[in-house]
Amino acid sequence: MFWFYLAVAATFIFAAQELLMRVLSIRTDNPRLFSVAYNTWGAAFAILLFVVQRGTLSALLTLRMPQILLIAASAAMYGLYERYQFNARRGMDAATFAIVMRLQTVIAFFGAILFLGESLTLVKFSGVLLIVVATMLLIYRNPKFSFTPAFWYAMVCSIMLGATGFTDKPASVALPASLYSFLMWTLPLGIIAFPGIQVKQLKKEFRNGGWHIAIAAILNVVGYIIYIRALGLAEASRVNPIVATNSVITVLGGIYLLHERDHFRRKLLAGIIAFAGVILLK
């Protein structure tokens, strides 16, 4: 049961981070460099937590090639997600972005079944189905939804995160969560920064984000470590759908905190259905 509470904790932390990211995404002049700034903060906090917990790199010496390749694959996919996420967030309605990102739940769930050999039960499938139905309620006849370039950026982000949903578990096996977080925050920086950065513009993006970007990075680092710990205690096909409900919580939080009042009843119903899905996965 401890894995369940960890997954729920990660869910609320990620939801809080998403609400903050909504505000930050409209401040940037250069989404890629803003992502470099954001991930630099994240890497700094991940390294700090690693040092505070007296982490050691010795576990890396015992890795075999298959796990090394999985770590590299996860880092590459996180890098692509981080490279394009602010392009998507900046160019589309925040609620729509949250909806499109739920595709990752389906990819992660069935990936865990196909590639990790996890069991497919009627109860688990029903829980995932309820979560998918909840997110579809938010997109049905949404007048703000359209196939813009930002939508396709969001699709790339969703696919990348969905794939990490079933690579993170085998990639992080036998590694402390703080060490794996350290790797997943530092290794993708090269992908995000490619082909180069303008120092003057990067400094401007740090100023645009202010202290809020540091808080968002802290939330992501802490949430990710808790998420990895949950994966170490339970099947990915159980943990991932629960964490995926952060999008519904984000939408509901946006109603009260960001005053996104459109489709209030539909959003409330979606939250109730998603919660029912979480209970089934428990």
Residue 251 is encoded by which pair of tokens? 């939408």
Percent of the chain with pLDDT over 90: 19
- The pLDDT-based confidence of 261 (bands split at 50, 70, 90) is low
CA distance 18 to 54: 30
What is the per-residue pLDDT across 27-52, written as a single tens digit (0 to 9) for each? 777 888 888 998 999 999 889 989 98
Average confidence (pLDDT) over 147-154? 84
Residue 207 has pLDDT above 90, yes or no: no
pLDDT score recorded for residue 198: 82
Average confidence (pLDDT) over 5-24? 86
Average confidence (pLDDT) over 23-28? 77
What is the per-residue pLDDT across 47-60, written as a single tens digit (0 to 9) for each? 998 998 887 888 88
pLDDT score recorded for residue 40: 92
Those residues with Cβ within 8 angstroms of residue 51's Cβ, 6 or more apart along the chain or in another chain = none
CA distance 128 to 235: 14
Q: Can you give the residue ranges of every domain in the chain? A: 2-281
Cα–chain-centroid distance for residue 233? Answer: 19
pTM confidence score:
0.80
pLDDT score recorded for residue 139: 67
What is the per-residue pLDDT across 159-201, written as a single tens digit (0 to 9) for each? 999 899 888 888 988 888 889 989 999 999 999 998 888 888 8
CA distance 110 to 101: 16
What is the per-residue pLDDT across 84-132, written as a single tens digit (0 to 9) for each? 988 888 877 666 677 777 777 778 878 888 887 877 788 878 877 887 7
